[in-house]
Amino acid sequence: MDGFLVGMVGAVLLASLLPNLGRTGGWLHLDVVGDVGVFLIFFLHGMGLSPRNLMHGASRWKLHLVIQLCTFVVFPLWWLALNLAVGRYIPHDLLLGFFYLAVLPSTVSSSVAMTSLARGNVAAAVLNATLSTLLGVALTPLLASLVFGSSADGSAMDLGHTMLKVARMLLLPFVLGQVLRPLLGTLFQRIKPITTKVDRGVILLLVLCSFSDSVADGLWSKHGIGLMAMTAVGVSLFLFPLLWVTRRVARAMGFPIEDEIVAVFCGSKKTLASGVPMARLLFGGNPSMGVLVLPIMFYHQLQLFVCSVLAKRYAERQ
């Protein structure tokens, strides 16, 4: 079993049993550790992305446009359709969590890895995944403010203040990582296995803090195990339709199979690595944050499993 999945399950269980351990202001003071961790994660993202990769495959502008529209337009519109159809049956905090999932950028590492495994256009995958990450730093808070800013449950967002926090906690470390990349890039590549563990470790601490706050606020007494089942069904209603849409659009536009693979894997994925830290920045202090990040935790595991199967099938083509 994936060790990271085990870690996330363990964090949820620990938060459920000992919420005072990881809650804001609790024994471990993870709220303070979390702010440092978010800065560190985006610094590492800046160190890990090569600007030169953005130049490869740049001529496939129709492919790039399709992927970015799927990521930041089709996903939110699909959420709106589902909200109109079944939103009244879903707990409000979880419904907002699905919207947060819908406005997140695509992944970087797994999108490129799946494209490579499927024998797709790796250069275009790198460009799109990187571009999605850069756009997400600005677009995700902006799109989130459209819904969270008008909610009546106390989770309203001040867009100006939010964008300042984004600039300070996400954009600044990312740019700093890019600036230092020529000096430290070689060292970064040598210690990448360690930085990957640090990245995942910080995410687990943020999950622990988020769920501890939510458990202390009555997560299980208000919702129970039904919340998990509802989340599992909900993420399936996002992933499978978007996989179908990206594939159909790619074929309708006459993309070669290598570009179709990029459209499918980059256009349907959502990032956990940036999603949890960004949620910490946008919704930190909200006792419902554990529910807000629940969809992206479930979606992450489902997309890895399903896309691995699809990648192997693509790779077997003649």
DSSP per-residue codes, the chain: --HHHHHHHHHHHHHHH-HHHHSTTSTT-HHHHHHHHHHHHHHHHHHH--GGGGGTTTT-HHHHHHHHHIIIIIHHHHHHHHHHHHGGGS-HHHHHHHHHHHTSPPPSHHHHHHHHHTT--HHHHHHHHHHHHHHHHHHHHHHHHHHHTT-SSS----HHHHHHHHIIIIIHHHHHHHHHHHHHHHHHHHTHHHHHHHHHHHHHHHHHHHHHHHHHTTHHHHTTTHHHHHHHHHHHHHHHHHHHHHHHHHHHTT--HHHHHHHHHHHS---HHHHHHHHHHHHTT-TTHHHHTHHHHHHHHHHHHHHHHHHHHHHT--
* 281 or 161, which is more confident: 281
Model pTM above 0.75 = yes
Q: pLDDT digits over 186-211, tens only? A: 888 888 888 878 877 887 888 888 77
* Alpha carbon distance 156, 70 (integer Å): 26
Average pLDDT, the chain: 84
Res. 152 pLDDT band, cuts 50 70 90? very low
* Alpha carbon distance 210, 15 (integer Å): 9
* Alpha carbon distance 143, 153 (integer Å): 18
**Average pLDDT in the 306-314 region?**
90
| The residue type at 247 | R
Predicted confidence (pLDDT) at residue 155 exceeds the cutoff of 60: no
The structure tokens listed for 280 are: 């910490």
pLDDT at 2: 64
Q: pLDDT digits over 258-276, tens only? A: 999 999 999 999 988 788 8
pLDDT at 185: 81
Predicted confidence (pLDDT) at residue 91 exceeds the cutoff of 60: yes
* Alpha carbon distance 233, 250 (integer Å): 26
Residue 14 φ/ψ region, left for φ over 0, alpha for ψ in the -120 to 50 degree band, beta for the rest: alpha
pLDDT at 151: 46
Predicted confidence (pLDDT) at residue 287 exceeds the cutoff of 80: no
Predicted confidence (pLDDT) at residue 84 exceeds the cutoff of 90: yes
pLDDT at 169: 75
The structure tokens listed for 158 are: 């001040």
